[in-house]
Amino acid sequence: MPGNVFGERLKISTFGESHGEAVGVIIDGATPGVELEESYIQIQMDRRKPGQSSVTSPRKEYDKIKIVSGVFEGKTTGAPICIMLFNHDMRPSAYSDIKDSFRPGHADFTYQKKYGIRDHRGSGRASGRETAARVAAGAVARKLLERRGVSVVAYTSEVGGIQCERFVESFIEQNPVRACDPEAAEKMVKLIESLAIEGDSCGGIVECVVRGVAPGLGEPAFDKLDADLAKAMLSIGAVKGIEFGAGFAAAKMLGSEHNDQMNSDGFLTNNSGGIIGGISSGADIVFRVVVKPTSSISKPQQTLTVDGTETEISTVGRHDPCICPRIIPVVESMVCLVVEDHFKRQAALLN
Amino acid sequence: MPGNVFGERLKISTFGESHGEAVGVIIDGATPGVELEESYIQIQMDRRKPGQSSVTSPRKEYDKIKIVSGVFEGKTTGAPICIMLFNHDMRPSAYSDIKDSFRPGHADFTYQKKYGIRDHRGSGRASGRETAARVAAGAVARKLLERRGVSVVAYTSEVGGIQCERFVESFIEQNPVRACDPEAAEKMVKLIESLAIEGDSCGGIVECVVRGVAPGLGEPAFDKLDADLAKAMLSIGAVKGIEFGAGFAAAKMLGSEHNDQMNSDGFLTNNSGGIIGGISSGADIVFRVVVKPTSSISKPQQTLTVDGTETEISTVGRHDPCICPRIIPVVESMVCLVVEDHFKRQAALLN
Amino acid sequence: MPGNVFGERLKISTFGESHGEAVGVIIDGATPGVELEESYIQIQMDRRKPGQSSVTSPRKEYDKIKIVSGVFEGKTTGAPICIMLFNHDMRPSAYSDIKDSFRPGHADFTYQKKYGIRDHRGSGRASGRETAARVAAGAVARKLLERRGVSVVAYTSEVGGIQCERFVESFIEQNPVRACDPEAAEKMVKLIESLAIEGDSCGGIVECVVRGVAPGLGEPAFDKLDADLAKAMLSIGAVKGIEFGAGFAAAKMLGSEHNDQMNSDGFLTNNSGGIIGGISSGADIVFRVVVKPTSSISKPQQTLTVDGTETEISTVGRHDPCICPRIIPVVESMVCLVVEDHFKRQAALLN
Amino acid sequence: MPGNVFGERLKISTFGESHGEAVGVIIDGATPGVELEESYIQIQMDRRKPGQSSVTSPRKEYDKIKIVSGVFEGKTTGAPICIMLFNHDMRPSAYSDIKDSFRPGHADFTYQKKYGIRDHRGSGRASGRETAARVAAGAVARKLLERRGVSVVAYTSEVGGIQCERFVESFIEQNPVRACDPEAAEKMVKLIESLAIEGDSCGGIVECVVRGVAPGLGEPAFDKLDADLAKAMLSIGAVKGIEFGAGFAAAKMLGSEHNDQMNSDGFLTNNSGGIIGGISSGADIVFRVVVKPTSSISKPQQTLTVDGTETEISTVGRHDPCICPRIIPVVESMVCLVVEDHFKRQAALLN
């Protein structure tokens, strides 16, 4: 599946299974001569790792990264940067029950049908653990974007029907759900904790803002900036939709309301979400993704065995009742990769 | 902007501006030996062309296609298929007013910033006319999919707040908004006609169903089937969001509700929209896109001139007050291209 | 066959058959704002067209190009540039004999085996006429390279065993074989004219020099500058080999002879042909390609019919007894495309 | 430098520096369900490793590979296969002298100019050690090709002016230069041993034969089979040229000699080297590459220091006086990758 390569001028290849030897990533095309330390990447890894709080899986993943290539004396060399995460907390036996049955909501059934063979251990390649490699790569892209004055921030705006009503940016990394509203965050935590006890899970919405992108990024007709961001987001297993700016609300709007008018101070509104005709407008890039409820729940569910017999399954394990807080660094990472890639494409175009 | 190429094994390149000589497309990778007639493609072109009804632009585009290469004695040869649409109804003078000002909602501003130069005639490359080339290419992909028993149907499910309540598939092509509900369609037509008089426009939602795809299409990690569909959809200028299956409603659902359980008859629900872990599940692929209100309205709006002076603009012209009915063949075309491409990728993988 | 797209950041797609409606090319990624006139491109087309002299085919190809898109008011806009060459001198009847038999040296047999179907008219897609599209694209790349002070010159250095002994650059475009040595050129012309009478053909060697490329172009490990040039050259139907710098003579050299030593004036020799480790060294890029004898000859040859019966064939027609003079603009064009593409890649890397 | 990714449907990404932590490769797109053992890959690694005989470098590289992902219970899963080779015999101190000067023939100068920074330890990314990753990937491709009955064999046909006169296939792996002629092999060994004493090196020619490819592989116009093979070969650092079939000798041939005529037994000759019009003809694919003399020699040579001062350098170290025997598995590996990739592309085309 050559689908494991992403990007044009900043290109990444991820590999590895949840309970294999390691997961990792190669980043090809990073600007040479840029300072890059493992500790900088590790900060992002720690935001994604399980066991951070009462609302995340207590599973212990040693998300300690190692730069294997492409960095010399603390600087990128222009050679491909390989970053590895060796797996340690492997409990294949804990997954023997899922060897023979398809867990609802998981990719067990579809992988079996696609490949005719399946590494069932902890979802194998389909595990959320694959996103650790993306976060490592995203940290490299983030470093490159810092030079340009671009920042990427994502946060939980809704969980299980509880919506954030206000935006306190400084609070985002101070609460376990990474919500932007202290009151909503408190309710979200309670909901998630109660779902953990019930053996159920819930979905949510993550919003992302990209600041500091000047007008001009994005390549019509097909590689529009929003098109590439949409692909990046939907490539995250739990994401089932995306909307930019006014998003689905635009279906109920008039053109006279939706058009972002301009005066000499800039745009009067940002219904377009900072992207018009596939190209950044200079306004903040704003989009939201919907995150489905975690598929792994301990409530019993109907399913089939690999040989087609009806059965019931309840996924015992150490799972996140709501994946929003841990998906946020993944969202940011993919955004960093897309935006940095488009900066490089623009440089190629204009050169 | 090498962003004008789309697809991996069925690869298209579009070219042409709204008021240039022609728009067109090259389709590279079509299976050889397949019967292909211009009349088959023309059917799809006619679904997209303006002037079809009271709710579409009265503009006359000669969307008469010509196959220039790749077809010999009525069959594809495996060589690239070039399809041309020569432009005839060009009125560059009608656009002289937009030469010096940026129309709100349009890509005038962003193109100027990106390229430093802009073919302003009828939006140039950013015109919806570019999608005519996609529809031509999509018709070729549709032909290839027919061999596989795959069908792709899109329809308007909401316009300006009016929602379809029932699904009458046979009615879709029988009404000017391509809605799936006769009662809703009538209201939609009235709304659109009144907006045309007011010089305003409205948005809507288009839903798409793909039937007949067996389990196994889609390439994790990045080229997931939903990721590629999302990119394809957001590459359409007026589309601002997409959701699969339960979509944004998943934010309010529990895992026990959202997971698609199975018994020996198949899936009990289709909240995943036919794609799990990025791979088709065998259930219908279902997604919705939000279509923004047409940017061209005759109501006066604030904007800037090219040299930065504040001004007012009202876009006089022959525009669609709601683009949903005409975007439907574009949506279907892009879906056909993505799905056929993934069939070819899967053949390569398994071979 | 998605093999019809070439390049990364300056990407071209060619289409069209020898005796179809047209051949053409899309160039995607050209820098916006660059002056580009049809007459500039036409100069290169005229260097490739048949009927230039006594040593080329008297066939009349109307290689009059038309820019269909991507240029506005005389300047590139950043949109894809489509250039068309409509076919006029089509004589399908002249090729009815080759419909049923495979001409030795031609791609008749391999196309039939690959695609199961074949547009036999004048070799269809496999015709040398496809290279006209490349020359049109190459002229655009040449224009972009002029801004950088890069020049690309190719010339015949050997024909049918007659070798050039001296290099008179100003003479190259003054003789019908485009040889760099006046005395050798005279002998070459005589040889080719006599072969034309005999109904036979001969091969030769074309050498190419690229000047003005600063050190640093080329992307290890795989997209080395010489690797991409080699691919470009071997993608020309009649080219069967390439060598850089000392080339095959290196097999007989010692390291102490072959290594290009340096002093403060630069390299003392250029055995590497201006590329070391896949990256331009700043010295002239120098390579040679071998051009096989034209496959179309009127001497009778053994072959098979499409249904496998043994037969004899003699290709009557208007063919070039030696393709070297007309392949030169094709060689230069492909080189321009590769080098300009690598300039853009380098800009992306360093940005 | 996103130039580190190669292939379309069987795609590899290599990474790692000579004296970094490891070199490795990701192979994406391998057919699932195929048996693959580390020992199978190790056989090819051992053919490339130094220290095999009196004519290769006595350097000890621990080319012990480890499959990190993509294989489960001894079979490929369709997930990316990561193969690592950890470095052990690192002696950075041995290379401190090359930190400040550019070794003639090496990529020291061009890397410095391209990236502005250079990992000088043992040539860093430009080291021949990078090819170990290719051999590992090539072994996977070879495994896939075995299912198709395709074999790839390369051998030394010339070293330092000594040419093989006969072809004894069974002898190739029985002699340290991997020559195909026992008498020539003996002379080659003597020559190489004497050059080792003198501190000099020599070049040679490697020939490669691919058997068992049915007609139809290769994608015109640009991704011709010979074009892709040429790119693959020139992407190997020491290769400076390639020729197919009759190769450069075609410059002296007539069309009536060069054309491969056919009768019902097949082609009467193979001057085309098994590829016509970029597509395999069913005949053996035959090509030759020229291998330059090893750049590392201990004879003193003129060069510059990094800051531009003239100096002399003599590369002390453990180098191969002739790289032909060790380049052979690299050549074969790249060929396996290209051919397997084209099988997959052909499956996609016809599907």
| 3-state SS string for C182-229 | HHHHHHHHHHHHHHHHHCCCECEEEEEEEECCCCCCCECCCECHHHHH
Per-residue confidence (pLDDT) for residue B99, from 0 to 100 = 87
Calculate the average pLDDT of chain A. 94
Q: C123 pLDDT band (50/70/90 cuts)?
A: confident
Q: Does A222 touch chain C (CB under 8 A)?
A: no
**B69-84 confidence digits (pLDDT tens):** 999 999 999 999 999 9
Contacts of residue D120, defined as CB under 8 A and 6 or more positions apart, other chains included, come to D95, D98, D99, D108
Residue entry with tokens 């070293």: D159
Per-residue confidence (pLDDT) for residue A159, from 0 to 100 = 98
Per-residue confidence (pLDDT) for residue B306, from 0 to 100 = 93
* Secondary structure (3-state) at D66: strand
pLDDT over threshold 60, residue A1: no
Helix axes A324-350, A38-48, angle to 10 degrees: 140
In chain C, residues with a C-beta closer than 8 Å to the C-beta of B117 are 32-33, 72, 75-78
Subunit contact D113:C215, Cβ cutoff 8 A: yes
Which of B2, B126, B241 comes nearest A247 by C-beta? B241
The conformational region for residue D20 under phi > 0 = left, psi -120 to 50 = alpha, else beta, is: beta
**D130-183 confidence digits (pLDDT tens):** 999 999 999 999 999 999 999 999 999 999 999 999 999 999 999 999 999 999
- A258/A270 Cα distance (integer angstroms): 9
Per-residue confidence (pLDDT) for residue D120, from 0 to 100 = 86
Residue entry with tokens 């004493």: D197
| 3-state SS string for A113-161 | HHHCCCCCHHHHHHCCCHHHHHHHHHHHHHHHHHCCCCEEEEEEEEECC
Instruction: Report which DSSP code applies to D179.
Output: B
| 3-state SS string for chain B | CHHHEECCCCEEEEEECCCCCEEEEEEECCCCCCECCHHHHHHHHHHHCCCCCCCCCCCCCCCCCEECCCEECCEECCCCEEEEEECCCCCHHHHHHHCCECCCCCCHHHHHHHHCCCCCHHHHHHCCCHHHHHHHHHHHHHHHHHCCCCEEEEEEEEECCEECCCCCHHHHHHCCCCECCHHHHHHHHHHHHHHHHHCCCECEEEEEEEECCCCCCCECCCECHHHHHHHHHHCCCCEEEEEECCHHHHHHCEHHHHCCCEECCEECCCCCCCEECCEECCCCEEEEEEECCCCCCCCCEEEEECCCCEEEECCCCCCCCCCHHHHHHHHHHHHHHHHHHHHHHHHHHHC
Per-residue confidence (pLDDT) for residue D300, from 0 to 100 = 95
What per-residue string of b and e applies to A149-173 under the rule 16 or more CB within 10 Å gives b?
ebebbbbbbbbbebbbeeeeeebbe
As a whole number, mean pLDDT of residues D6-12 equals: 97
Subunit contact B68:C22, Cβ cutoff 8 A: yes
Q: C329 pLDDT band (50/70/90 cuts)?
A: very high
Q: A271 pLDDT band (50/70/90 cuts)?
A: very high
Q: C61 pLDDT band (50/70/90 cuts)?
A: low
Subunit contact B4:C78, Cβ cutoff 8 A: no
In chain D, residues with a C-beta closer than 8 Å to the C-beta of C251 are 158-161, 203-205, 290-291
Q: Is D161 exposed, middle or buried (0-12, 13-18, 19+ CB in 10 A)?
A: middle
Per-residue confidence (pLDDT) for residue C120, from 0 to 100 = 86
Nearest to C178 by CA among C13, C320, C314, C339: C320
**C263-290 confidence digits (pLDDT tens):** 999 999 999 999 999 999 999 999 999 9
D250 upstream amide cis, omega within 30 of 0: no
> What is the sign of the dihedral through the CA atoms of C277, C283, C288 and C289?
positive
As a whole number, mean pLDDT of residues A156-182 equals: 98
Q: Does D351 touch chain B (CB under 8 A)?
A: yes
pLDDT over threshold 90, residue B350: yes
B142-145, Cβ contacts within 8 angstroms, sequence gap of 24 or more: B142/B44, B142/B332, B142/B333, B142/B336, B143/B34, B143/B35, B143/B36, B143/B40, B144/B10, B144/B30, B144/B31, B144/B34, B144/B340, B145/B336, B145/B339, B145/B340, B145/B343
Which of B235, B255, B260 comes nearest A224 by C-beta? B235
As a whole number, mean pLDDT of residues D113-118 equals: 96
Per-residue confidence (pLDDT) for residue A176, from 0 to 100 = 96
Contact call for residues D220 and C125 (beta carbons, < 8 A): yes
**B258-284 confidence digits (pLDDT tens):** 999 999 999 999 999 999 999 999 999
Alpha-carbon separation of residue A343 from A141, B99, C10, D13, D210 (angstroms): 11, 28, 16, 23, 43
Per-residue confidence (pLDDT) for residue A59, from 0 to 100 = 67
Q: Does D13 touch chain C (CB under 8 A)?
A: no
Interface confidence, given as ipTM, is: 0.97
- The chain C residue lying nearest A345, using CA atoms, is C348
Give the closest-approach CA distance of D349 to chain B in angstroms. Answer: 5
As a whole number, mean pLDDT of residues A65-83 equals: 97
- C328/B329 Cα distance (integer angstroms): 45
Q: B249 pLDDT band (50/70/90 cuts)?
A: very high
The tokens describing B88, both together, are 């005839």
Which of B4, B5, B69 comes nearest C20 by C-beta? B69
**C4-57 confidence digits (pLDDT tens):** 999 999 999 999 999 899 999 999 999 999 999 999 999 999 999 888 887 877
pLDDT over threshold 80, residue C139: yes
As a whole number, mean pLDDT of residues C322-339 equals: 98
Subunit contact D78:B345, Cβ cutoff 8 A: no
Which of D114, D242, D256 comes nearest C200 by C-beta? D256
Per-residue confidence (pLDDT) for residue A123, from 0 to 100 = 85
Task: Number of helices (H) and strands (E) in chain A: give both, helices first.
Answer: 7, 18
Instruction: Report which DSSP code applies to C82.
Output: E
**A107-133 confidence digits (pLDDT tens):** 999 999 999 999 988 888 999 999 999
Q: Is C168 exposed, middle or buried (0-12, 13-18, 19+ CB in 10 A)?
A: middle
Radius of gyration of chain B (CA): 21
pLDDT over threshold 70, residue B324: yes
Per-residue confidence (pLDDT) for residue A28, from 0 to 100 = 98
Q: C90 pLDDT band (50/70/90 cuts)?
A: low
Nearest to D245 by CA among B55, C238, B168: C238
Calculate the average pLDDT of chain C. 94
pLDDT over threshold 80, residue D318: no
Instruction: Report which DSSP code applies to C307.
Output: T
- Domains of chain A, with CATH numbers? 2-350 (3.60.150.10)
Task: Number of helices (H) and strands (E) in chain D: give both, helices first.
Answer: 7, 18
